[in-house]
Copies of this chain bind each other. A is one copy, B any other.
Amino acid sequence: MSETDTPMVENLEHELRAEGVRITRQRVAILSALANSSDHPSAEEVLERSRKQDSSVSLATVYRTLSILEGRGTILRNEFDGTGARFELANKPHHDHLIDVDTGDVIEFTSPRIEELQAEIARELGYDIVHHRLELYGKVRHQD
């Protein structure tokens, strides 16, 4: 546990340790990278950011750690059009994404009404939703 660990990272470390996951230098670096990001970094970007704290982190370890974290529900894996997977901590309330097709910017939004309708549709079809993906791809509205 590095002395530069934020309380959020320490919390994650405790949770993981409680489940028998070993806390290694590289895992702390990866957790910090995720905790300090407010965007949706790719595996490569998580690698770069992690290396600022521990230059020994490898891409394979980033992928292995991201898999563990995803399996535990600690992070979410997004597969937007085109690029590889993008990640984010799962500690905020559920939301969906609007991707600016020109800039790649990702905007988060929530719609309780859409969530309800989804559940209703699934119910009518005889299903329970396990998870869902709602992505809007758009361009800034123009009047030019």
Contact = CB atoms under 8 A, between A and B. Distances in A.
How big is chain A's contact interface, by range?
20 to 34
B117 A113 contact: yes
Contacts of A5: none
Given A98-B121, A121-B98, A121-B109, A127 B114 contact: no
Tell me the number of copies of this protein: 2
Interface stretch (A11-19, A30-38, A54-62, A135-143): A135-143
Contacts of A134: 118, 132-135
Given A125-B98, A127-B141, A136 B113 contact: no
Interface of A: 79, 81, 98, 100-101, 107, 109, 111, 113-114, 117-118, 121-123, 125-142
